[in-house]
A and B are shown apart, each in its own frame.
Chain A
């Protein structure tokens, strides 16, 4: 069964992915994703009704540790990488009108 990706779906995926696509990119993305999903649908040949989803291959448990500070203040070093900074903080575009 061929997967047809609608304009609404690709619009929604763009929102989830925080990506801005041109009309041309949208058309290509619809094609690529449809084709990939057609291929992924192959998994439906497998009966997995009795199988638990496996997120981790080993039986590992949550790892706890004391919440102790082990690093030093690296604020200035870290801010060197910020595209924009002000008064020792990351500067972001205005978020509230």
Chain B
């Protein structure tokens, strides 16, 4: 098997056993980047020199016995909305085209402490606003399963990089599905943990009450191992939660006997592609066969999650993105008359269409006269959605459903109609509104040869149940390695 096809944990084992050095692992990643990046464009910035230096230092620490963790020496890619000291951080926006942070995001620091080698920064929808990675100022990313299709978004670069073997795992961020949906489209495993589990310090904010960083990797065991490293309380993030049950890998037993699994009937209705539906039902049968109790139920309120989400996320975005003013960092327009004109021109030239659309919607729903009717109404709806999940989790350990209504669309098909694109988030956004953990696990391939992910949703702080069910699904999956063709060809 080629190095590129290894999971992060397996590569970590090999490095530990001295079968491979951290330097060789990084070299393998850069070789794959050199071979594939022209086609897929997963990265905004590749930092080969820095990474090779870091790999040497990490290997030294491994040799000296200072780094003993499971992922020491394993190369990682970071979504370009997380600050990295000395490395360009653009959020895939023109307005941050020259921004080099003076500090590193806490989540990235956690990885570095565990011996990660940072390869570069992955492409994304501008400011994480989009579902296809087509709103990036730096060009589109292509799906490694078929370059005519999008990788999903907004963490499309991270998911595609994992699928193409251009890194061994990646960090993404998920505000409304931005880890899970591209993971589903790229045939990789991605998790959004419970809100507050991973520090958001240094994550460039989009919708602060919804944003959560999470792992994107080749399998469930990788995600559990990465989350163990990342789930650390951080006093610098006031929403960071102190957790003690962070031994997530202990849930990888492969035993799902007795688990209660609910499938929302409202997730299987109109708008769901029949092949995706069949894959979800196949996953349900597998869990049932392994001894879980599976039943359908009515979750309710599903169709209200998207309007509530777009009000809340846009409102928070309009506030969060007010910091981009052409004064402290980033782009400033060339010609202007006075301060206000400078602000306006800088922002109008620096932001793309989708970002402007959401800032305007957010400013509107927060403006006096509309605040109650839109913003507070959305927050009340959010409370109802949370209640609906609370009720479901009185009965079920996990909820099983599709991650996205379809497989990856072709490039250029989605941006024409923003509202239609937003509807693609129907199965993912409610999880963010309720602050819940959820994971997308690849479970099948459609007739076009594109991967299909299924989603497991857990109650707050119940990631272990998700890992338990997800690992069970993965172990019993027909096709053990759902690798993208680019890795298969080289692997076999």
Contact = CB atoms under 8 A, between A and B. Distances in A.
Interface string A35-53: 1110110111110100111
A13 B238 contact: no
Nearest to B86: A77
B238 A62 contact: yes
A34 to B, nearest CB: 11
Interface string B349-376: 0010000110111011101000000101
B347 to A, nearest CB: 6
Interface string B374-385: 101111111110
Interface in B291-305: 301, 303-304
B57 interface: no
B330 A83 contact: yes
User: Interface size for chain A: under 10, 10 to 19, 20 to 34, or 35 or more residues?
Assistant: 35 or more
A12 B367 contact: yes
A79 B161 CA distance: 33
Contact of A58 (B196, B322, B418): B196
Interface stretch (B260-268, B334-342, B404-412): B334-342
A1 interface: no
Given A57-B386, A74-B102, A43 B339 contact: no
A74 B100 CA distance: 14
Interface string B312-339: 0000001000100111111110001011
B311 to A, nearest CB: 6
A20 B381 CA distance: 33
A80 B328 CA distance: 9
Q: Which among A35, A48, A54 has the greatest number of chain B C-beta atoms within 10 A?
A: A54
A65 B339 CA distance: 36
A69 interface: no
A83 B382 contact: no
A18 interface: yes
Nearest to B377: A43
A54 B418 contact: no
Given A43-B304, A54-B382, 9 more contacts: A18-B340, A19-B347, A19-B356, A40-B374, A53-B383, A54-B386, A57-B435, A60-B239, A78-B102
Interface of A: 9-10, 12-14, 16-21, 29, 32-33, 35-37, 39-40, 42-46, 48, 51-58, 60, 62-63, 65, 74, 77-78, 80-84, 90, 92-95
- The 4 A-B pairs of least Cβ separation, nearest first, read A57-B435, A53-B379, A83-B332, A81-B329
